[in-house]
Each structure stands twice: as structure tokens, then as C-alpha cells.
């Protein structure tokens, strides 16, 4: 009898761990906390859009720099110098890019890809904008939990797209 009770108790505990049950009180629809959360979400949407815009400018600038470098290397290879001179230069430039990608991975623990770079730069820009606009991330997370919404990591650009595909709070589905 006792073993049966103990087994049932363990099963219930295992299910509680597997399925998170909100422990706090849910905030009523007309509660001021919901209004505060709506205002903070609007502010966060604005911050995310601004961060996205800034990162996209950086990425377009990087593309322009690579295009200019390629054009310069073409000019040097075919008109000014020769491939014999340019081959070691191109090798060292490519090696430098590889080392930069490796350093990016070591520093950010993210894959050195365009998406990884975008997410890393987005997190930096988002954090900077949140600080500049006095956005209280802790209060935002508290309000989300109080309203029964999952707490989002402030530097996760796609966190809102995991929550809902209809309501965009980040760069993933905007523009």
C-alpha cells in the first residue's frame, strides 16, 4: 500500500517537472500590470526594430567593403600586378578572415555564420538600446510571468517568434 502511494507520488512529481504549471496568480484583463506590459512590449518592439535596422546597416556596409575589396583585388591582379604577386596576398587575406571567424566563435560561442553574426550583433545593439531607453528587463520579465506569458530572454531575437507566429516582437518576421 505504502509503495503504491510512493510510486504514484513519484509519477505525479515527474509529470509536474515535465509540464510546467504556472504557480503565480494570473493578472486580470483590466489590471494595470497588463497595461504596463503592453506599453513595455510596444517599447521592446521599437527597440527590436531599431536594433535590426542598425545591424542590417552594418551587414550592408560589410557587403560593400567585400565588393570593394574584390574589385580592388581584380584590378591589382589583372592590370597593375600579376597573379604571382596577388596569390600570396589573397591567401593571407583569406587566412585572416578565417582567423576572424574563429575568434568570433571563441568570443561568442556561436557559429561563425551570417545568422550567428546577425544574432550576436542584434544582442549587442538590443542591449545598448535597452540601456539607453531605460528599459527594465527584469520588470518586463516579471510582468510577462504575472500575466501568464513565458519569460523571454532579452537577447534572443527570435524568442517572440517561438511564442506566437502572429505577433512579432523581434526582427525575425518584421520588414
- In this prediction, residue 1 carries a pLDDT of 55
The answer to whether residue 175 scores a pLDDT higher than 90 is: no
- In this prediction, residue 105 carries a pLDDT of 93
Give 121-160 pLDDT, tens digit per residue: 999 999 999 999 989 888 888 888 887 787 665 444 444 4
Is residue 86 within 8 A of residue 73, CB to CB? The reply is yes
- pLDDT bucket at 63, cuts 50 / 70 / 90: very high
CA distance 87 to 82: 9
**By 3-state DSSP, what share of the chain in percent is helix, strand and coil, each rounded to 5?**
70, 0, 30
The answer to whether residue 170 scores a pLDDT higher than 80 is: no
- In this prediction, residue 168 carries a pLDDT of 40
Does the pTM of the predicted model rise above 0.75?
no
> What count of Cα atoms within 13 Å lies in the side-chain half-sphere of residue 154?
20
The answer to whether residue 161 scores a pLDDT higher than 50 is: no
Q: Per-residue pLDDT averaged across 106-130, rounded?
A: 92
- In this prediction, residue 16 carries a pLDDT of 62
CA distance 105 to 127: 20
Compute CA distances 129 → 13, 16, 65, whole Å. Answer: 42, 38, 26
Place of cell 509540464: 19
- pLDDT bucket at 162, cuts 50 / 70 / 90: very low
Give 19-36 pLDDT, tens digit per residue: 655 554 455 566 777 888
- DSSP states of 112-168: SSHHHHHHHHHHHHHHHHHHHTT--HHHHHHHHHHTTPPPPPTT-TTHHHHH-SSS-
> What count of Cα atoms within 13 Å lies in the side-chain half-sphere of residue 28?
3
* Total number of residues shown for the chain: 175
Domain ranges, ordered by start, for the chain: 32-163
The answer to whether residue 17 scores a pLDDT higher than 80 is: no
First and final CA of the chain: distance in angstroms? 62
- In this prediction, residue 13 carries a pLDDT of 65
Amino acid at each position: 500500500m505504502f509503495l503504491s502511494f510512493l510510486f504514484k507520488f513519484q509519477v505525479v512529481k515527474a509529470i509536474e517537472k515535465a509540464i510546467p504549471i504556472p504557480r503565480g496568480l494570473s493578472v486580470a484583463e483590466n489590471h494595470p500590470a497588463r497595461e504596463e506590459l503592453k506599453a513595455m512590449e510596444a517599447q521592446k518592439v521599437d527597440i527590436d526594430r531599431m536594433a535590426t535596422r542598425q545591424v542590417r546597416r552594418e551587414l550592408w556596409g560589410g557587403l560593400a567593403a567585400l565588393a570593394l575589396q574584390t574589385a580592388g583585388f581584380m584590378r591589382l591582379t589583372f592590370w597593375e600586378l600579376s597573379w604571382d604577386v596577388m596569390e600570396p596576398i589573397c591567401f593571407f587575406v583569406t587566412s585572416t578572415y578565417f582567423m576572424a571567424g574563429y575568434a568570433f566563435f571563441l568570443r561568442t560561442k556561436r557559429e561563425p555564420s551570417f545568422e550567428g553574426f546577425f544574432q550576436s550583433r542584434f544582442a549587442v545593439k538590443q542591449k545598448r538600446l535597452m540601456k539607453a531607453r531605460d528599459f527594465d528587463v527584469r520588470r518586463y520579465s516579471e510582468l510577462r510571468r504575472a500575466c501568464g506569458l513565458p519569460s523571454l530572454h532579452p537577447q534572443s531575437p527570435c524568442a517572440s517568434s517561438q511564442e506566437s507566429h502572429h505577433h512579432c516582437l523581434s526582427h525575425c518576421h518584421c520588414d
